[in-house]
Chain A
Amino acid sequence: QQQVKQSPQSLIVQKGGISIINCAYENTAFDYFPWYQQFPGKGPALLIAIRPDVSEKKEGRFTISFNKSAKQFSLHIMDSQPGDSATYFCAASNGNSGYALNFGKGTSLLVTP
């Protein structure tokens, strides 16, 4: 059972545009929400993460928006670049499970020149 639902499945954005990926969860015990970037044949790399006591977190061109009441969070990539083309996964975890990550299904992002 997918505990974290992610959309869209794929996304095409022009260079310089904003990429937006959305995720939703049901388990209110989750208290840690990271985003990972994965290139083909590689392990995922942590991009940015947020805890539910914060509504927004920004690191460089990456921003997480978090809506606790709606149980939704999203990743915004500003000024998207061709090098950002990769698969992005949202995830959620909690301390009771040792922070084992529950991943969304992933979004394949293509940034066109």
Chain B
Amino acid sequence: GAVVSQHPSRVICKSGTSVKIECRSLDFQATTMFWYRQFPKQSLMLMATSNEGSKATYEQGVEKDKFLINHASLTLSTLTVTSAHPEDSSFYICSARDLRAGEKLFFGSGTQLSVL
């Protein structure tokens, strides 16, 4: 299947700093990428849909000024958590559609963010 690479896998930062997470589709072009958030032992919750060359669409309750998403190319989407606080600590996972594979979504390996 298609490969989605997510980096970093783990990051620890101080409260008030910003953290950038990268999501790359390695062997396909992804016009659409999705960002999910997962708390321990809970389900994946969709945060936003990222479309190449246009503004991201955020789910209700997700602060777009806090979670900045940029999808500047067909293989890269970034999520920046701005002015991070301890309550932003979570597992963030990106996913992408490979149009050659139809409706299938492929996921990155996730980023564990810990805000001290």
Contacts and interface: CB of A to CB of B under 8 A. Distances in A.
Interface residues of A, number: 25
A32 interface: yes
Contact of B104 (A42, A49, A89, A104): A49
Is chain B's binding surface mostly helix, strand, loop or mixed?
strand
A106 B44 CA distance: 9
Interface string B101-115: 001111111101000
Q: How large is the interface on B (under 10, 10 to 19, 20 to 34, 35 or more residues)?
A: 20 to 34
A93 interface: yes
A95 interface: yes
Interface string B88-105: 000101010100000111
B54 interface: no
A62 B109 CA distance: 23
Contacts of A100: 34, 46, 49
A49 B105 CA distance: 11
Given A95-B103, A98-B49, A100-B46, A43 B97 contact: no
A89 B43 contact: yes
A34 B106 CA distance: 11
Contacts of B4: 43
Interface in B3-35: 4, 6, 32, 34
Interface of A: 2, 32, 34, 36, 41-46, 49, 89, 93, 95, 97-106, 108
